[in-house]
Amino acid sequence: MVLRSALISVLLASSVFAADWTEYRMGPFRVISNAGDRPARERLTEMEQTRHVLAGMLGKTDLQPVWPIVLVLFPNQKEYGPRALPQPFVPGGSSDLSAWAADTPQPQDWRREIVRRLIADNAGLIPSVIVTALSDLFSTIEVNATRVKLGTRPPSLPADREQEWAKIQLYATNPEYAGRFRVYLGNLQQGSEETVAARNAFDLTLEDLNQRADAYFRAGVFEAFPVSGEALNPNRDFIEKRLPQSEVDAWMAELKNGGKTFPPDSPRGLLAQGTPAALEQAANANPRWAEPHVRLAALETNRLAKVSRLKTATTLEPHNSVYWQALAEAQTAADQPADAAKSWISAERTAPSDAERARIHQIRLDAEQRRTDFEIANKKREADERAQELQRIKDAAAAEVRAAEAKANREQGGLKSGATPVPFSQIYGGENVTGTLVQVDCLNGPRRLTIQKSGGVTVKLLVRGTEGLNPADFTCGVQKPARQLFVIHDSKPDAKLGTTGNVQTYELR
């Protein structure tokens, strides 16, 4: 009975679990293998040591790709052949997928692509030529558990690319430079020019540094040097689990799809649906992924909300020039010209080529010119509006004077034939002064007017409060040009301020 139960358990297990398929995982890396334990652990160790050494060069404590990286490892080329991929990696629903055979070393382009992805997702501002040189440097990495070497010459590189590799190989492996190499790369990550990075890292001009690198390249003596690897035990530190057949079938289906279709509930599957709800789910499923926010921005009708979405995208993927351009255009449409100018600068700085950089530079100049023209037109419009408002105030004051005169005449029974209208000065019943306004003193609240009458006599009157007073008529200081002024005042002198009365009303002529 016991033997029968054991046999049933074995049969059940064999129907659930795939034959010899095991997953090994560390950090963002997975190896899914039926090629045996040792090859899988060796490949995962190489991936993890690459990540560790590169992080040290970049001055980072950890490097995390936007998408987990999965290697499906088959025992030999015969089994791998039907599942061969057209490029080192293809997008999967929730990861980036690759496949290879255990009986053949990993291709150098596969190693290069891992390095390129780690740099792009964690230090994207490094110039592309240096990213390529770093990728070439790691393409020949030698890993034996904790022992790591870098610097073996890659085969078949173009001459210009090999020279750039030699330069980075010198900095990364030669003791004279290796200790300061992270400072050099750190400066580049912050957007500094290489001239600044060379000075800050090696205390050399870029010209001197390049001359040394050129001499090193011409000498042609390149050796692999040991570098500090991660203290890990491949037999103990990896997370390991046996895979059920359903998971293996799912991985094989994704390999077969080759990045063309994805499981509908995966982040990339949700993105493909394209609805706002699905895009929101995709963004939540992979919070480091910028593309769902770009797609949501494209659906957004609110200009400020569109800007907010694109800001999130550029924060998540700051090296993507296309995203910066989209943000600059959205900010322009949202009447944020200053912010748009900054985004155009970022788009130019992150452009993938000199030609693209030149194109964006011209767009930025055109945008700056439009912004300048807009500001000039806006200032002119505001000035015109102020002038119109001032004229309205003057017209209203003149109408008020005419209405007061008319009212006074009506109260006297109207004008008889040959009668003289009631003068404006009699409406207020005060003293009047006619002369030239030559000076306005702005005191702590009131204003003191100095009026020069004919014959050179001056009168000083005080304007208290602002009722009926247009400040634009009485600018402080000497009046240039001096203007004719008619004033009615109450004849109440202020000895302290030296005035003979308080203005009741006035008329500039």
Tell which residue, 448, 423, 422, has the closest CA to residue 500.
Answer: 448
The least confident of 84-88, 329-333, 341-345, 381-385 is: 381-385
The mean pLDDT value for 262-291 works out to 97
Cα(498)–Cα(430) distance, integer angstroms: 19
Which residue carries 């040959």 as its tokens? Answer: 418
pLDDT of 341 > 60? The answer is yes
pLDDT attached to residue 413:
61
Specify whether the CB–CB gap between 72 and 97 falls below 8 A: yes
pLDDT band at 25 (very low <50, low <70, confident <90, very high): very high
Q: What are the DSSP calls for 319-379, one per residue?
A: T-HHHHHHHHHHHHHTT-HHHHHHHHHHHHHT-SSHHHHHHHHHHHHHHHHHHHHHHHHHH
In the chain, where does the domain assigned CATH 1.10.390 lie? 11-228
Q: Which residue has the higher pLDDT, 48 or 373?
A: 48
The mean pLDDT value for 61-75 works out to 97
Residues 6+ apart with CB under 8 A from 218: none
103: which 2 tokens?
């009986």
Helix (H, G, I), strand (E, B) or coil at 81: helix
pLDDT attached to residue 402:
76
- Is 197 buried (19+), middle (13-18) or exposed (0-12) by CB count in 10 A? buried
CA 222 to chain centre: 40
Specify whether the CB–CB gap between 343 and 326 falls below 8 A: no
pLDDT attached to residue 4:
41
pLDDT attached to residue 222:
95
Cα(100)–Cα(35) distance, integer angstroms: 10
Please state at what angle helix 337-349 crosses helix 354-411, rounded to 10 degrees: 180
The mean pLDDT value for 328-346 works out to 93
The least confident of 7-11, 188-192, 389-393 is: 7-11
Q: How many CA atoms lie within 13 A of 134 on its CB side?
A: 26
How many distinct helices (H) and strands (E) make up the chain?
19, 14
pTM: 0.69
pLDDT band at 420 (very low <50, low <70, confident <90, very high): low
Which phi and psi angles does 488 have, rounded to 5°?
A: -115, 130
Please state, as a whole number, how many other Cβ atoms lie within 10 Å of the Cβ of residue 397. 18
pLDDT attached to residue 389:
82
Fold classification of 11-228 (topology level): Neutral Protease; domain 2 (1.10.390)
The mean pLDDT value for 129-138 works out to 96
pLDDT attached to residue 364:
83
3-state helix, strand, coil split of the chain in percent (to 5) is 50, 20, 30
pLDDT of 53 > 70? The answer is yes
pLDDT attached to residue 378:
84
In the chain, where does the domain assigned CATH 2.40.50.140 lie? 429-508
pLDDT attached to residue 16:
54
Q: What are the DSSP calls for 139-150, one per residue?
A: TT-EEETTEEEE
From residue 59, give the alpha-carbon distance in Å to each of 27, 96, 111, 122, 431: 18, 25, 20, 11, 84
pLDDT band at 12 (very low <50, low <70, confident <90, very high): very low
- What pLDDT, in 10s, does the model give residues 348-386? 988 888 899 899 999 888 877 777 787 788 888 888 888
Specify whether the CB–CB gap between 150 and 181 falls below 8 A: no
From residue 261, give the alpha-carbon distance in Å to each of 30, 264, 265, 286: 21, 9, 12, 18
pLDDT cut 70: percent of the chain above it: 91
Virtual torsion, Cα 16, 22, 25, 31, nearest 10 deg: -120
pLDDT attached to residue 428:
55
pLDDT band at 119 (very low <50, low <70, confident <90, very high): very high
pLDDT attached to residue 313:
97
CA-based diameter of the chain, in Å?
Answer: 140
Which residue carries 């499906």 as its tokens? Answer: 72
The least confident of 60-69, 86-95, 115-124 is: 115-124
Q: Which residue has the higher pLDDT, 386 or 416?
A: 386
Cα(38)–Cα(372) distance, integer angstroms: 66
pLDDT attached to residue 62:
93
Specify whether the CB–CB gap between 74 and 34 falls below 8 A: yes
84: which 2 tokens?
């061969």
Cα(58)–Cα(64) distance, integer angstroms: 13
pLDDT of 476 > 50? The answer is yes
pLDDT of 422 > 70? The answer is no
Cα(287)–Cα(276) distance, integer angstroms: 16
pLDDT attached to residue 10:
39
Tell which residue, 62, 60, 71, has the closest CA to residue 29.
Answer: 71
- What pLDDT, in 10s, does the model give residues 425-442? 555 567 889 999 999 998
Q: Which residue has the higher pLDDT, 493 or 11?
A: 493
pLDDT of 1 > 50? The answer is no
Virtual torsion, Cα 291, 293, 295, 296, nearest 10 deg: 160
Question: In CATH, which of 1.10.357.10, 2.60.120.10, 3.40.50.300, 2.40.50.140 is domain 429-508?
Answer: 2.40.50.140
Q: For domain 300-405, give the CATH superfamily.
A: Tetratricopeptide repeat domain (1.25.40.10)
pLDDT of 67 > 60? The answer is yes
Please state, as a whole number, how many other Cβ atoms lie within 10 Å of the Cβ of residue 123. 23
Cα(509)–Cα(507) distance, integer angstroms: 6
pLDDT cut 90: percent of the chain above it: 66
The least confident of 12-26, 152-166, 231-245 is: 12-26
- What pLDDT, in 10s, does the model give residues 199-257? 999 999 999 999 999 999 999 999 999 999 999 999 999 999 999 999 999 999 999 99
pLDDT attached to residue 128:
87
In the chain, where does the domain assigned CATH 1.25.40.10 lie? 300-405
Cα(171)–Cα(151) distance, integer angstroms: 10
Q: Which residue has the higher pLDDT, 409 or 419?
A: 409
The mean pLDDT value for 139-159 works out to 95
